[in-house]
Chain A
Amino acid sequence: MTATGPTPAAVATTEAGDRRPEARLPEARLDKIPLLLVPVLALLALPLTGSASTWVTLTVAGLAMGMMIFMMASGLTLVFGLMDVMNFAHAAFISVGAYVAASVLLRFSGWMQEDNFLLNMAAVIPAVLAAMLVTGILGWFFERVIIMPVYGQHLKQILITMGGLIVAEQLIVVIWGPDMIPLAKPETLRGSYLLGEVAIEKYRVLAVVAGLLVFGAMFVVLNRTRIGLLIRAGVEDGEMVESLGYRIRRLFIAVFVAGAALAGLGGAMWGMYQESVSVAIGGQMMVLIFIVIIIGGLGSVGGCFVGALLVGLLANYVGYLAPKIALGSNILLMVAILLWRPQGLYPVAKK
């Protein structure tokens, strides 16, 4: 075997050999360079867009899109990190979340049209919670029935989750019908805030706030709680955690369900953002989500966050500057980042 093409197992042995005698301090050094990429990208775009007001609008739009992608992608990357499971049916959770939210919101359409923020929220919050609940239950079912029998077999996982995706998408059509469902934003979240010449869509502000809340909550849970400690330990060395007497399987189910619920949340918010829900909604996002988690480093939540922001911002800047290559730009971003760091921005040290 040459040094240029080591297999994962070979990497693991050399890394383990290097690290153990050192007895590193538990607090890992924070790698700041990837974090700097986000402001650097935003600043690079400033002269290109021409006017400051356009730039602010695009940046907020990019951040909002990035936050929503992060919600959808975070669960997937964590599940991969913890259990080495890549769930191609994650797209189904996004679609189901969007559809459930749409069904609930249609019930409350009266409240949605009132020009009253509290009444609007009284419709949106139950819709989002319902979306998370349903996708969470779906995630639990999925983990038990579809994925559990194929742990540790990558090929079968990819196939079986693709099959699950096909079945789930078809069932969505059976339940909700093949037509696109229009979904109006709540009255008070339509339109924009005007700050001088700068127009900022209200809904995007909400999306950024919600995304930051989700990221903050995840950060606190992962870094400040016992469960988070176990999850992080499980990502690094699951067998060791298991041998210390923790039931990593239960932990994993919890993470899977939470990831599915977050995907449902992201799908619900994305559906409202697009003002329509269709079966394709999950599939369209799936490519972006994969790009995000590859950029971030498979299994890394922080990398996923940075990657999502980069992808969201780039999509909006390029969409404004050169609409034809908007979606392609993210592939180029991925290629560039992989050339720089082949394992993604924050490579996850596996056992």
Chain B
Amino acid sequence: MNSSTLLSGALSGALSGDLPRSRVLAAMLIAIFVGLALAPFLFPGTRSLDVAAKVCVFILLVASYDLLLGYTGIVSFAHTMFFGIGGYGIAIAMSRLDPDWPSIAIGTVCAVAASLLLSFVVGLFSLRVKAIFFAMITLAVASFFGILASQLSTITGGEDGITFKVPEIMRPAYRLIEEPLAGTVVGGKVLTYYFIFVGATLLFLMLLRVVNSPFGRVLLAIRENDFRAEALGYRTVIYRTIANCLGAAVATMAGVFYALWLRYTGPNTTLDFSIMVDILLMVVIGGMGTMYGAVIGATLFVIAQNYLQDAMKAVSDAAASASLPLLPALFHPDRWLLWLGVLFVLSVYYFPFGVVGKLRVMAWNRR
């Protein structure tokens, strides 16, 4: 056995045998992975590191949502709630206790436990019935949670949220090496980034393992035809509830990472309904039921969110200077969601499996 087969075997094992199955897709994934792994050195600067951290967090968040939407076929609008529970768990633990590692552990464990319990109750309550019922119930529960978070200001800080301190090693002022490495200061921010990057990668690989396990196959069966899955002897309610709890737990972890990065948790960064809409857009545009779709979707979306607006501003200004009607308003930088919404509707119709599905079909046809 030579080293290249060993390497490909190890890679295939890490990806749970679910390879990209498209050269273009593989190239994109490698580019994203390398880009994120070396982000502090390839793209120096605060803003680009912010973008990279957000990409990592959202890849994880969207992948956990894909487990529900793409693999199990259930639509939940409470995913931001679990994201928020993670953020608030960390924020409350860090602001009440000492800002050190044990508090991070306590906050994380408590948040994950709360998410598991809540998702279990909501799931038992409403997963027995139709998908639409679950969607509406989760929407109501999530909005209730949002109200609670903004009303119970003694615990959650209300609309202002909670700003908290992080352990010494994660603070921006901390220096791992005094001298800049390849032009980048290796400080607390970079260390926090790698903490998030490694955590998100491991959890993503775990999700990939889950969806490619026998358990994941049952979820796919439920998505395709729940009646038949039940007839084959699988208790669909139990499988759905487990998937729901698992998705909630991973979303909570994403919330933990995001809070640690921002050193802040508030309703606007975690619980806002627009974040739920963002997640939906990412998972559908990237590709439902593919896991890699989460990577592509989250990366494209977050980059578009941060850089597309600049391009739109240019178009808007050009249209305004040419004094065209309505176009300046349509291309106003704040209207970027309009175009993503259109893209979303089109992709549900024409590319139901998103960018990843399309690339795989193209690769299949070329064979």
A240 / chain B contacts, CB cutoff of 8 Å: none
- Bound-complex Cα distance A14 to B143 (A): 36
Please pick, from A150, A156, A159, the residue contacting B280 in the complex, using a CB distance under 8 A: A159
Please pick, from A86, A156, A160, A331, the residue contacting B140 in the complex, using a CB distance under 8 A: A331
| From A1, A146, A174, A294, residue with most partner B Cβ within 10 Å | A174
Specify the chain A residue showing the minimal Cβ separation from B70.
Answer: A155
A8 pairs with B141, CB closer than 8 A: no
| From B137, B281, B335, B341, residue with most partner A Cβ within 10 Å | B341
How far does the Cβ of B308 sit from chain A's closest Cβ, in whole Å? 14
If A173-B335, A294-B133 touch, whether A160 touches B345 (CB-CB below 8 Å) is: yes
Stretch with Cβ within 8 A of B (4 or more), from A187-195, A229-237, A283-291: A283-291
**What 5 additional pairs, Cβ within 8 angstroms, besides A154-B130, A155-B75, A328-B147?**
A167-B342, A173-B334, A173-B335, A327-B144, A328-B144
A156 pairs with B137, CB closer than 8 A: no
Please pick, from A1, A173, A178, A283, the residue contacting B273 in the complex, using a CB distance under 8 A: A283
Check A7 for interface membership: any CB of B closer than 8 A: yes
A-B residue pairs in contact (CB < 8 Å), sample of 12 = A5-B235, A7-B227, A10-B227, A146-B345, A149-B349, A158-B132, A162-B344, A166-B338, A170-B341, A171-B338, A173-B335, A294-B137
Check A164 for interface membership: any CB of B closer than 8 A: yes
Specify the chain A residue showing the minimal Cβ separation from B235.
Answer: A5
B338 pairs with A163, CB closer than 8 A: no
Check B136 for interface membership: any CB of A closer than 8 A: yes
If A5-B128, A8-B130, A173-B335 touch, whether A331 touches B144 (CB-CB below 8 Å) is: yes
Check A324 for interface membership: any CB of B closer than 8 A: yes
Check B151 for interface membership: any CB of A closer than 8 A: yes
- Bound-complex Cα distance A334 to B122 (A): 13
Check B275 for interface membership: any CB of A closer than 8 A: no
Check A9 for interface membership: any CB of B closer than 8 A: yes
A157 / chain B contacts, CB cutoff of 8 Å: 132
A174 pairs with B330, CB closer than 8 A: yes
Check B66 for interface membership: any CB of A closer than 8 A: no
In the complex, how many residues of chain B place their beta carbon closer than 8 angstroms to a beta carbon of chain A? Answer: 48
Specify the chain A residue showing the minimal Cβ separation from B126.
Answer: A338
How far does the Cβ of A155 sit from chain B's closest Cβ, in whole Å? 6
Check B135 for interface membership: any CB of A closer than 8 A: yes
How far does the Cβ of A285 sit from chain B's closest Cβ, in whole Å? 11
If A170-B335, A328-B148 touch, whether A158 touches B341 (CB-CB below 8 Å) is: no
How far does the Cβ of A297 sit from chain B's closest Cβ, in whole Å? 11
If A7-B230, A287-B143 touch, whether A163 touches B148 (CB-CB below 8 Å) is: no
If A155-B73, A283-B273 touch, whether A178 touches B334 (CB-CB below 8 Å) is: yes
A167 pairs with B338, CB closer than 8 A: yes
How many residue pairs link A and B with beta carbons under 8 A? The number is: 106
Check B329 for interface membership: any CB of A closer than 8 A: yes
Say whether chain B's binding surface is mostly helix, strand, loop, or mixed: helix
- Bound-complex Cα distance A160 to B329 (A): 24
1/0 per position for A278-311, CB-CB distance to B under 8 A?
A: 0000010011001101100010000000000000
A290 pairs with B140, CB closer than 8 A: yes
- Bound-complex Cα distance A174 to B337 (A): 12
A163 pairs with B133, CB closer than 8 A: no
How far does the Cβ of B101 sit from chain A's closest Cβ, in whole Å? 35
- Bound-complex Cα distance A159 to B133 (A): 14
In the complex, how many residues of chain A place their beta carbon closer than 8 angstroms to a beta carbon of chain B? Answer: 45
Interface residues of B in 338-360 (CB under 8 A from A): 338, 340-342, 344-345, 348-349, 352
A163 pairs with B345, CB closer than 8 A: yes
A166 pairs with B277, CB closer than 8 A: yes
If A8-B130, A149-B349 touch, whether A163 touches B144 (CB-CB below 8 Å) is: no
B144 pairs with A162, CB closer than 8 A: no
Please pick, from A159, A160, A287, A335, the residue contacting B139 in the complex, using a CB distance under 8 A: A287
B348 / chain A contacts, CB cutoff of 8 Å: 150, 156, 159-160, 163
CB-based closest 6 A-B pairs: A170-B338, A166-B341, A163-B345, A167-B341, A163-B344, A331-B144
1/0 per position for A130-148, CB-CB distance to B under 8 A?
A: 0000000000000000100
| From B75, B143, B334, B344, residue with most partner A Cβ within 10 Å | B143
Interface residues of B in 272-307 (CB under 8 A from A): 273, 277, 280-281, 284
B141 / chain A contacts, CB cutoff of 8 Å: 331
- Bound-complex Cα distance A126 to B345 (A): 34
Specify the chain A residue showing the minimal Cβ separation from B284.
Answer: A159
Check B237 for interface membership: any CB of A closer than 8 A: yes
How far does the Cβ of B246 sit from chain A's closest Cβ, in whole Å? 19
A286 / chain B contacts, CB cutoff of 8 Å: 139
- Bound-complex Cα distance A138 to B315 (A): 29
B338 / chain A contacts, CB cutoff of 8 Å: 166-167, 170-171, 174
- Bound-complex Cα distance A328 to B28 (A): 45
If A86-B132, A155-B73 touch, whether A174 touches B329 (CB-CB below 8 Å) is: yes
1/0 per position for B117-147, CB-CB distance to A under 8 A?
A: 0000000010011111101110111011001
- Bound-complex Cα distance A149 to B337 (A): 23
B230 pairs with A1, CB closer than 8 A: yes
A9 / chain B contacts, CB cutoff of 8 Å: 227
- Bound-complex Cα distance A171 to B329 (A): 10
B237 pairs with A5, CB closer than 8 A: yes
